[in-house]
Amino acid sequence: MTGSNRIAGYGEVSRSKPVTFTFDGKTYQGFEGDTLASALLANGVHLVGRSFKYHRPRGFLSAGPEEPNALVGISRDKTRSQPNVRATIQELYDGLIAESQNRWPSLTFDVGAVNDRFSRLFPAGFYYKTFMWPRSAWDKLYEPFIRRAAGLGHSPTEADPDRYSNRYAHCDLLIVGGGLSGLTAASEAAKSGKSVILCDENPVLGTGLRSDLRTKFSGKSARVHLNKLIETVRSAENIQVLTRTTAFSYLAQNMVALAERVTEHQASPESDAPRERLWQVRAQKVILATGAIERHMVFDGNDKPGVMLANAAQTFLARYGVAVGAKVGVYTATDTAYAAAIALHQAGIQVPVIVDARSGTLSAIGEEARLLGIKVVNNAFIKRVNGRLRVQSMVVEHQGTRETFDVDAIITSAGWTPSLHLFSQSRGKVAWDQETRRFLPGDYAQECQSIGACNGTDTIAELISEAVSAARWGIGSRARAKPKIPEIEDEVPASGGMIGADKGAGPDNPVKAFVDFQNDVTAKDIRLAVKEGFHSIEHVKRYTTTGMATDQGKTSNLHGLAIAAEALGKDIPEVGLTTFRAPYTPVSFGTFVNHNKGELFDPTRKTSIHDWAVEQGAAFEPVSLWQRAWYFPQDGEDMHAAVARECKTTRKIAGIFDASTLGKIEVVGPDAAEFMNRLYTNSWTKLGVGRLKYGIMCREDGFIYDDGVVGRLGENRFHVTTTTGGAPRVLNHMEDYLQTEFPDLKVWLTSTSEQWAVIAVNGPKAREIIAPLVEDIDFSPDALPHMSVREGKICGVPTRLFRMSFTGEMGFEINVPSNYGRAVWDAIWDRGAPIGMVPYGTETMHVLRAEKGYIIVGQDTDGTVTPHDAGLSWAIAKSKPDFVGKRGLERPDLKADGRPQLVGLKSLDGKTVLEEGAQITNRMNPSGPVDIQGFVTSSYWSETLQSPVAMALVNGGRSKMGETLFVPMVNETHKVEVCDTVFLDKEGGRVHG
Amino acid sequence: MAKAASKTNTKPAVATFAGPLDGKRMARDSVSLELAAPCSRTALRADNKSLAAVSKVVGVALPKKANQSASTESRHALWLGPDEWLILDFASSDNPIVPEPDDSKYSAVDVTHRNVAINVEGASAEAVLAAGCPRDLRVAAFPVGSCCRTVFGKAEIILWRRDETTFHVECWRSYANYVWGFLADAANDAG
Amino acid sequence: MRKFSALSLAREALRSHKGWDRQWSSPELKKSYDVIIVGAGGHGLATAYYLAKEHGITNVAVLEKGWLGGGNTGRNTTIIRSNYLYPESAGLYNHAVKLWEGLSQELNYNVMFSQRGVMMLAHSVHDVQVAKRHIHANRLSGVDNEWLTPEEAKAYCPPLSISKSARYPVMGAALQRRGGVARHDAVAWGYARAASDLGVDIIQKCEVTGIVRDASGAISGVETSRGPISAKKVGVVAAGHTSVLMAMAGLQMPLESYPLQALVSEPVKPIFPCVVMSNAVHAYISQSDKGELVIGAGTDSYLSYSQTGSLHILTHTLDAICELYPMFSRMKMLRTWGGIVDVTPDRSPIIAKTPVDGLYVNCGWGTGGFKATPGSGHVFAHTIAQDRPHAINTGFHLDRFRNGRLIDEAAAAAVAH
Amino acid sequence: MLLIRCPYCEQDLPELEFANAGEAHVVRSSDMVGLSDEEFETFFFIRENPKGISFERWRHVHGCGRFFNAARDTVSDTFLLTYKAGEPKPSLDDLEGQKK
Ligand SMILES: Cc1cc2nc3c(=O)[nH]c(=O)nc-3n(C[C@H](O)[C@H](O)[C@H](O)COP(=O)(O)OP(=O)(O)OC[C@H]3O[C@@H](n4cnc5c(N)ncnc54)[C@H](O)[C@@H]3O)c2cc1C
Ligand SMILES: NC(=O)c1ccc[n+]([C@@H]2O[C@H](COP(=O)([O-])OP(=O)(O)OC[C@H]3O[C@@H](n4cnc5c(N)ncnc54)[C@H](O)[C@@H]3O)[C@@H](O)[C@H]2O)c1
Ligand SMILES: Cc1cc2nc3c(=O)[nH]c(=O)nc-3n(C[C@H](O)[C@H](O)[C@H](O)COP(=O)(O)O)c2cc1C
Ligand SMILES: [Zn+2]
């Protein structure tokens, strides 16, 4: 089919460039420059969708972003589909595939339409009043039924293959809206040297005026004037013009978020071009030139396909050369619709009648219409619209008499609503203008000005001078010169109009006169809400759902407000508006996500030894942002087998472990020791240079915050280690106290977590393996005793060699500069492997330390555990006058008896490995809620001891040594005996080799 | 299975240097990414009173204001905070460049291996960085020679503008692949 | 009160719904009440309802500075569950879930409580340990909560990606089948209607500007934007504004008020059958009965009473949503908004008497109090009527911040919502 | 995203570089051990949480690393003043003056 409704000589589409597309499987043709809407109308297609609740047939209301009805599904292929696309803004491209929504089996025959038959049963909020009996039917019957009815289009079901991107931008002036006022302001700012961004949601600039074929600028058409402006703006270096770019959110301190649609209009986008781009613009000044949105008239059947806004019809004609009908009726309460009617008439479209709701003498343009032979009836209204899938005729009532007109389209206008969305989002206060009966920008909250239609400036002359002075404000220019204003002829100011329902849909007319189309909210629904006591406009909105659809009430909110006000007998400003929220129009999730997906969702931190572990086929576990080697399965081993082997071998020979992720902080300065004294529970004054100590850090509340081994490298220099996950917060915590509580201390902190790779070698053969690689460090047991540190060289590079153990075996933690980590590791591996050393991962590390009763902060403690609870009282220096946490520890509950205490647990059957997190009771078979005594924090199979080992936090645990407690699981209850946390080598001889 | 060692020598060769981005390079029409030349780095801390003295030790007059950097031939001092500088020396690939203090005037910690640097160069360098860095990087606001610690996507970076179209982007070692990946993704759009 | 039923609906349909009366009256403000409830959110209205219904105290006013249900009750993502860790919490929230199960009938108002199940994802070994700890504790205190493997989680929620190569692979999930969602506005309206029917005065657009104490220091009434009102007992249920109100009585609170945002997508046909929460990556999602995906974001880092939040907070949440459900990347955000959540140091609520005679407070629900609405109102009514806590809320007193006896769900790595 | 003036960098910078650090001017006693339970509660748990001007701490954590103080209106979210740690608490009345 080719567009039979094109009118020669009209429109801006390139008729030389035909484009084919399909709608509901049928193939149509349009032209480059069409929107899906204009192309469908050109082909005489009005019926494009079904409403949400009543499934009523719907067509196009508008030609722009405010569209509530014409929502379709668009897809390029099965991974690239998108629901609820407004046909009025979707640009046509070759091969576009569109589907109508919310209908079954077909758009013309939709079973759901029975809802419309029984619509009397479904007034606003009906579901709150029913579906309650019988109770059981709710889950089985009613709810599934309600949920099935949900939604319009279908969600995509496959991962989105497209790219998105982000740009932070900074400018002196952001102008939102590229209509006449935005363009005028921008051209004034051209060549100012100030950086300006101009954005408009449309593909072309000057839209508002482009559909105006009437107004003359110094004798020339409006477009001539527009094109001059556009030329100036486009050619100005200091102005960045962003079309297809919607400013959707106005945030604090003049940050405005824009969504640019980069490829949505292209038939075959470049593969790596982003589909959409997010702009986060920080502007010194903002000018809002967002225009005005036309309102429909509220009357019976105003939702039928073929009924649309007057300005939409004019736009389809002027910009796309499309006639929305052959015989078009007009229903208006404002003059701009006359202009539209005359434009249609001049294009050869029949306009049998203009119905004007207003009484009194005709305006000039009314007379003009008459002279052109168009019948004008005022003080009249449309009583009814006939036709189901398309308008067929309309019944007009005029002072009691009725007349029927055959029409195939009806255009309406109740007036224009200034677009206050962004102004209001900027936290500006809207003000009611009694004279023109509309809301306008009132007090501003940010560096921002509104101009043009969105500011209620109706005449072009005023608009231009307003735009010029705003631009001067925006660029801080002191220019005084009067802006030169072209001579404007035949202008039809867009003032006046009506809000609310007209006579035909008055309070006692039970007709279906729609206010909010998509959600099927009628005038009577709003009156019902008020009747039921929903007097706040916010309640009316939520009870009727008016303004809550995808168009967010751009055409309907004022009508709803006026009808509610009338029912309440209040003034409109008394009732007030609902809150404008972002986004101005819907924005893809992908645009917000932009680069942050897949690999870039979050940084993945890897150590310098990571690749080695990968080569060895290690399994990894995420720990904070890090990937850590978990265990090293050998041919077909599962985790259990691998860990058993790693444990056994490490205790028998040796094991090598990558501990690089440990946090490290260099504490330097004359007061370093004193600083450590205040931040850790331990005392550091007496720690000798070259010695190590296990330290515990509390928060002010006395609960364990972090722990780690600390080495003293010099009088004034400590090498502090922290848990992997705790590193950033510990450094922040230290800086906080240093800067704000103890500024008197002369200490500096530097993170060295990533300066050092850490290779832990543990086991009886550890010394023999690494000794030959080390220079300038005396390795003899008394020269390098347990818990000491030396600086020297290994494999020719600097090392900080820690003699310490987190396994209970003789152990060394070799710190080497990260970029040598892999090389040193390989060298150690080359020596260790032949004598049977194994690599082990975090799981084996956990088992080995558990056998020794060493805690893991975050596993055996959870932020409610004190050092005393954890059995670490020995690490608290009582003598110190103060340390962070000392006072907190003195609070009654932290000293009370029966606190959870860390103990060991033996499974009495000698074989059950308890589940971590399992709860502990003191009764065998608890039935019903029981008194929980604690829970298992760590639990493993100990290959070395050939028995399970477990740690638990048990109320008053240390006083229960030897007692039997119970661990109830789903099917059975395990018996456990409370024991010491140290399971292996109580006297601690092994660390000496 | 864990491969056994090939050889078992006692005196191994000196360990070789291996960074996370070794050999990486990427070029688009108007921007290129590449691993910056190797250099030695020191995290320097000192308080105002001793600046003059410490400047002598460092060999560069330490800048006193935000975003300022100071340079000699090969050595650069980047202001990071009121008492904090990053010292870079491209003449030395890897050894401590500022001696540990004998007195308590300052703190010098070698962080050569902690950081990795990427050069972002080309007409679109600024735009590429603007994909992840919320700072105003226009030359007027961030002139040649400016430096700062800031964020890029979900990573912390140190940014240093070496000329109008060249940025030195430094981050912690384990973030290097993320930062590189983000820059590359941004270059696809802005490059 | 006109009974709501399919029948009454049909009858009204025949006379174009002329017969419906007000769901709650808007009475003249009296000079004095037995009890004044400050704040007509779900919790305040429920409190008033149970005061009247279970304690026979009907001379009650609920004072609301704005419109009833317009606070966090009207802004929340409506996740309801009771699988909290500590017995105190589990007891409180489970009490609420039991009441939820009969609430539509109790109020004769369909609050659409939908027990579609709440699934909480584990993304690391640590998450798994924490989840298991909850599951075992819950089972012993009679709260349903079960462990699902990644495959079972996927089966329960098909859009979920359990790809092993994901940045935070799903290692399993804790599922509470009795959990779900409810229609937030209906909860406020239903309680308002039922309370009003029992004689409670619900006064909207009436801001409490002062709390008046007599010579003995005890409560004697409140100052409001519509004049003074006297009362022997005042219950403050003002969520984000609690600190402001308590300051009027000279009390400082262990509370901070943060912006918390949520958003909805455009409505689509049913695609997301349950509720899924991931604390590791901060994403909470369900699909409303109208079809929008309802998504909860995190809080901003600073105090705010502005009911708006930052873009980067939303962005972070959508990053996570699209990571877990890559199919939603082409869905569009329809609207976003914010509320003011009052957060306590241990993330547990305060439902208690205060040091001031006759002054009671119910607050600190932070990001997760909607689920507690019926239970909270029920035990708070008891606390006010009897001047002592109900067994269920004894642990949620103010003293815990002095003696250290916290109920620290947060520290125990439990979570919001 | 707020725009925050760091008193050390003397520039307005994006919030993403900063971390909020809670209420300002909460004094840690030089004699912590001497505090009563009530005093400790006040120090550690009780917060102003004002609707209006709040004195709060921020850290320019991804910038110069300094902690500093700010006076901010929690209703409009706008900063009235930022000042270095250790500087005296400005007077409320002066600040009320500058509120929008
Ligand atoms: C975005 C968001 C998502 C959430 N998601 C969940 C969720 O998924 N699950 C969940 O369980 N919880 C959730 N919550 C938390 C939940 O919304 C709240 O805990 C709960 O609704 C609190 O109810 P309320 O009645 O105590 O407070 P509100 O509903 O806030 O009621 C308090 C009322 O007090 C009024 N008031 C304040 N000051 C005065 C005064 N001076 N005079 C008179 N009246 C006053 C307010 O106007 C308000 O109406 C969420 C919250 C938010 C903001
Ligand atoms: N005063 C009125 O009510 C009224 C009504 C109809 C037509 N007009 C005529 O329209 C013109 C008014 O000029 P104007 O520039 O003030 O309005 P305009 O409608 O010409 O321009 C506003 C532009 O801003 C765009 N826009 C709106 N919100 C946006 C957002 N959030 N992001 C990006 N772009 C957005 C619109 O798509 C439009 O292109 C004059 O020609 C006037 O005669 C005025
Ligand atoms: C569960 C839930 C679902 C919502 N669904 C919609 C919706 O479909 N459309 C809509 O416009 N707003 C929806 N909202 C948001 C409200 O319109 C409104 O933003 C919210 O109640 C906060 O009020 P405010 O924006 O007026 O401050 C929803 C809110 C909630 C809590
Ligand atoms: Zn700073």
Report pLDDT for C157: 98
Output the ligand 2 site: residues, CB below 6 A.
Answer: A 176-182, 199-202, 207-209, 212, 246-247, 289-292, 416, 419, 422, 452-454, 458, 460, 494, 584
- Sole residue written with tokens 């995420």: A622
Query: Which residue has a Cα nearest atom 26 of ligand 3?
Result: A579
State mean pLDDT over A373-400: 96
C45 contacts C68 by C-beta, under 8 angstroms = yes
Q: What is the pLDDT of residue A509?
A: 87
Listed residues: CB within 5 A of ion ligand 4: D 6, 8-9, 60, 63-64
Considering CB atoms only, which of B1, B113, B182 is closest to A595?
B182
pLDDT band at residue A892 using 50, 70 and 90 as cut-offs: very high
Average pLDDT over residues C112-124: 97
**Residues contacting D83, CB < 8 A, separation 6+:** D7, D68, D69, D70, D90
Tokens of A95: 């091969």
At residue A520, the pLDDT reads: 96
- Amino acid present at A24: D
The pLDDT, as a whole number, for residue A929 is: 65
Share of chain A above pLDDT 90, in %: 93
Nearest CA in chain D to B159: D63
Q: Considering only CA atoms, which of C315, C55, C324, C338 is closest in space to residue C200? A: C55
Contact between D67 and A740 using a beta-carbon 8 Å cutoff: yes
Cβ pair D17:B80 closer than 8 A: no
Who has greater pLDDT, C165 or D71? D71
Mean pLDDT, all residues of chain C: 96
Cβ atoms within 10 Å, residue C210: 13
Question: Which is it for the CA torsion A977, A980, A983, A984, positive or negative?
Answer: negative
**CA-to-CA distance for C334 and A585, rounded, in angstroms?**
7
pLDDT in the model for residue A931? 84
Q: Which of D1, D10, D11 is opposite residue B134, by nearest beta carbon?
A: D1
Q: Residue B100: what pLDDT? A: 84
pLDDT at A861 over 50: yes
**pLDDT tens figures, A568-620:** 999 999 999 999 999 999 999 999 999 999 999 999 999 999 999 999 999 99
**Cα(A289) to centroid of ligand 2, in Å?**
7
Adjacent-strand bridge partners of A330: A354, A411
| Token couple for A179 | 């209509």
Return the pLDDT at A925.
67
Test B81 with D17 for CB contact under 8 angstroms: no
Of C72, C225, C304, C396, the residue with max ligand 1 atoms within 8 A of its CB, to mutate for a pocket test, comes to C72
Closest Cα in chain A, distance from residue D1 (Å): 7
Q: Note the Cα A308 to chain centre separation in Å.
A: 34
Task: Give me the percent of chain D exceeding a pLDDT of 70.
Answer: 99
Q: Which atom of ligand 3 is nearest to the CA of C74?
A: 21
Q: Which chain D residues have a beta carbon less than 8 Å from that of C316?
A: none
Phi, psi of A181 (to 5 degrees): -70, -45
> Does the pLDDT of residue C50 top 60, yes or no?
yes
Confidence of residue B94 (pLDDT cuts 50, 70, 90): confident
Please list every residue in chain A whose beta carbon sits closer than 8 Å to the beta carbon of residue D68: none
Judge if pTM exceeds 0.95.
yes
In this complex, which chains have at least 3 CB pairs below 8 Å with chain A? B, C, D
pLDDT of residue B179: 98
Q: What is the mean pLDDT of residues A437-463?
A: 97
pLDDT recorded at residue C167: 87
CA–CA gap between residue C359 and residue C355 (Å, rounded): 8
Distance between C263 CA and the closest CA of chain D, angstroms: 17
Query: Taking a C-beta distance cutoff of 8 angstroms, is the pair A907, A920 a contact?
Result: no
Q: How far is A891 from chain D (nearest CA, A)?
A: 7
Quick one: average pLDDT of C162-185?
A: 95
Is residue D68 over pLDDT 60?
Answer: yes
Q: Do A595 and B177 touch (CB under 8 A)?
A: no
**pLDDT digit string, tens, across residues A805-846:** 999 999 999 999 999 999 999 999 999 999 999 999 999 999
Which among D3, D45, D58 is the top mutation candidate for probing chain C, defined by the most C β-carbons within 10 Å of its own β-carbon? D45
Contact residues for A434 (Cβ-Cβ < 8 A; gap 6+): none
* The two structure tokens encoding residue A465: 């001078």
pLDDT bucket at D98, cuts 50 / 70 / 90: confident
Q: What is the pLDDT of residue A927?
A: 62
Q: Which residues pair with residue A751 across a beta bridge? A: A665
- Does position A478 have pLDDT exceeding 50, yes or no? yes
Is C329 in Cβ contact with A157 (below 8 Å)?
A: no
Q: List B residues 4-23 in contact with A (Cβ-Cβ < 8 A).
A: 4-20
The reply to whether residue C110 touches residue A531, judged by beta carbons under 8 angstroms, is no
Helices C184-197, A537-544: axis angle to 10 degrees equals 120
Task: Over range A57-82, report the average pLDDT.
Answer: 97
Average pLDDT score over residue span A542-557: 97
Alpha helices in C222-310 (DSSP H): 242-248
Confidence of residue D100 (pLDDT cuts 50, 70, 90): low
Going through C88-240 in order, the beta strands assigned E by DSSP cover 118-122, 146-148, 172-176, 180-181, 201-203, 208-213, 219-224, 229-236
Q: Are β-strands C32-38 and C60-63 bridged in parallel, bridged antiparallel, or unpaired? A: parallel
| pLDDT-based confidence at residue B92 (cuts at 50, 70, 90) | confident
Nearest CA in chain B to D13: B135
Whether the pLDDT of residue A1 is over 90: the answer is no
Query: Which one of C65, C241, C302, C312 makes the best mutation probe of the D interface by having the most chain D beta carbons within 10 Å?
Result: C302
Tens of pLDDT, residue by residue over A736-795, are 999 999 999 999 999 999 999 999 999 999 999 999 999 999 988 889 999 999 999 999
Q: Which residue has the tokens 């007077």?
A: D91
> Among candidates C144, C130, C155, which has minimal Cα distance to C279?
C130
Q: What is the pLDDT of residues C256-299, one digit of tens each?
A: 999 999 999 999 999 999 999 998 888 899 999 999 999 999 99
The CB of C294 under 6 Å from ligand 3? The reply is yes
pLDDT score of B5 more than 80: no
Q: What is the pLDDT of residue A626?
A: 96
Return the percentage of chain B with pLDDT > 90, whole number. Answer: 81
Q: What is the model's pLDDT at position A928?
A: 60
Asked whether this complex has an ipTM greater than 0.95, the answer is yes
Do A490 and A219 form a contact (C-beta atoms < 8 A)? no
Q: How far is the CA of A22 from the centre of ligand 2 (A)?
A: 31
Residues in chain D within 8 Å Cβ distance of B66: 6, 8-11, 64
Lowest-confidence range among A635-644, A764-773, B95-104? Answer: B95-104
Contacts of residue A251 in chain D, CB cutoff 8 Å?
1
pLDDT in tens, A959-977: 999 999 999 998 999 999 9
pLDDT of amino acid B96: 81
Question: What does the pLDDT read at residue A470?
Answer: 98
SS3 content of chain B, % helix, strand, coil (to 5): 20, 35, 50
- Per-chain mean pLDDT for chain D: 96
DSSP code of residue A856: -
